[in-house]
Structure 1
């Protein structure tokens, strides 16, 4: 007699099976939340100071770097949103919770940054044609303040858990800001010594290139997540081949994997048991292999009867 579960069986394996039920939310560290919140306030506040200083001194480089700081402040804010969203429980209409809010915010942020970069490059070209007076003294003062703030942010985030992808990303953003401040200081000193105001638009273009790379990555990664593309670095064919090597599995098919948000990978797959294998034993076995070998934290595994795999759609 054929096992009744062999025709159609579903089993879930997730990264969190606590007493409060099945959860897709990542672990939230309050210490990291406080660190990122504090650095966000510093970064956003300095971005405003830098924009005003750039406007008053006539420095396009400061304005461009202010745009870079705004992008990093937005990245920090998105990290905070991710933490807060992770604390919200899923409901009957949003069964995966609210994780995609961060993806939508990242897409909007990246698109806005690309517009900002276009304006910076256009203005830099105009200044190459008609050089504008730059007050190197105020520019230097603002850049030094930025360096101090970025060093403080760098040290604060460095004390956090580097196993946290949100905090690690914020740390890299602040490191980029620190380097930008060093460049602005160099440009200000260069203008004071040589009087070459052309150094200002040159630096602004270099900073803009840093921004456009971050902005494009945000837009591209957000679109890939929204399209439910296979997670970056995951080879579907290799995953299927790996599952075929598991004991008790005769066939594997209909493998689909996508990113829920950030590094959270989910997948669905169909498997067919070998003769004599208990179908109920396969879902946890497959889910564990996906988690250990491919960092897929949640898998939905369907067990099909022999000959039924190709009939599934």
Structure 2
């Protein structure tokens, strides 16, 4: 038995991602050229992060489009989980880039070099402007989708990194503190790890079909048993299809040999409880009568 409530993607999602991709390609090229000319590691690290943004935004755009494809005989769930995969890859790249930046910053710190600060200041301002605008474009969509959130996090952290680079550029220009370049690079990297880890953890749990952290199987069963009476749920599974859609399946141990029409009526009541109390939009209930098997909530298969 299924109960579906559809969730709509933002129509502007594709357009906003496309604009952000164009802006980030522009920043990346400018910062790579500027980093080479000025000798600034923090500017090059910002460019590297921007390049990872371009890749992650392309990935998010592809996943966003794939997720809207309809299910068919070959892919009965459609491509809804593509956005989870994109979020996982984006979070992983944030962390990989961060560790590379830490390695580079440690090397540079022991041997600081003079840096052309004018370019650093102007290009970091460009980064703040473009990344800030891109992050603003995706902010609304980020609240509805883990994939869009991963793209938004890339852009937001890059805006913060550009602010840090600007501060470093000003300190180097007026105080000749060239070691600040390495310290800021290190700080950017630590910030990326912190931001990326939470996203990596949540997307991994969804991909591994973990029970959502905000829901407890026991609480759901207790609520359902209020309407099923002596008919008890067991062998329960609850998982994210994507970050917006929850699926639930369970066996119902029926104490009487009820008719199909009576069972349908009971399942309708279960569906209402699951949707209104727990936001579970799709459920499958398997009826069983006098079947000899373990009746635990969770049964290893």
User: Measured at CA, do residues 73 and 289 of structure 1 come closer, stay the same or move farther in structure 2, by a change above 3 Å?
Assistant: farther
Deviation per CA, 1:135-188: give whole Å up to 9, x if none: 111111110111121232244345x56763355554454333322222111110
State TM-score, norm by structure 1. Answer: 0.81
Partner of 2:208: 227
Q: Say if 1:128 and 1:198, in contact at 8 Å, map to a contact too.
A: yes
Q: Structure 1 residues 122 and 169 mapped into 2: Cα distance closer, same or farther (>3 Å)? A: closer
Name the residue aligned to 1:164.
144
Q: Deviations over 1:184-203 (max 9, x none)?
A: 11110011011011111111
Q: CA deviation at 1:85?
A: 1.1
Look up the match of 1:118: 99
Cα separation, 1, equivalents of 2:68 and 2:202: 23
Q: Which has the higher contact order (CA 8 A, sep 6+)?
A: 1
Check the 8 A contact 2:168/2:184 in 1, yes or no.
yes
Q: Distance in 2 between matches of 1:58 and 1:299?
A: 58
Structure 2 residue corresponding to 1:290, chosen from 244, 263, 274: 274
Question: Are positions 1:98 and 2:82 aligned together?
Answer: no
Contact between 1:248 and 1:273, CA under 8 Å: does it hold in 2? no
The CA deviation string for residues 103-156 of structure 1, in whole angstroms up to 9 with x for no partner, is 334444444443332221111111111112221111111101111212322443
- In the alignment, the residues of structure 1 paired with residue 150 and residue 85 of structure 2 have an alpha-carbon distance, to the nearest angstrom, of 18
Residue among 221, 242, 249 paired with 1:268: 249
CA RMSD of aligned residues (A): 2.8
TM norm structure 2: 0.84
Q: Work out the number of aligned pairs and report it.
A: 293
Residue 279 of structure 1 pairs with residue 263 of structure 2: yes
Cα 1:58–1:32 shift into 2, 3 Å: same
Q: Which runs of 5+ in 2 are unaligned?
A: none
Q: Which residue does the alignment assign to 1:51?
A: 32
Q: Secondary structure at the match of 2:115?
A: coil
Divergent runs of 4+, >4 A: 160-163, 166-173, 273-277, 306-309
Task: Give the alignment of 1:146-185 within 5 angstroms.
Answer: 146-157=127-138, 160=140, 164-165=144-145, 167=148, 170-185=151-166
Partner residue, 1:303: 287
Q: How much does 1:247 deviate?
A: 4.7
Q: Does the 8 A contact of 1:68 with 1:208 survive in 2?
A: no
Distance 2:277 2:19 in 1: 36
1:19 matched residue in structure 2? none
Q: Tell me the distance in 2 between the aligned counterparts of 1:98 and 1:298.
A: 17
Task: Measure, in 1, the Cα distance between the counterparts of 2:86 and 2:141.
Answer: 24
Report the structure, 1 or 2, having the larger strand content: 1
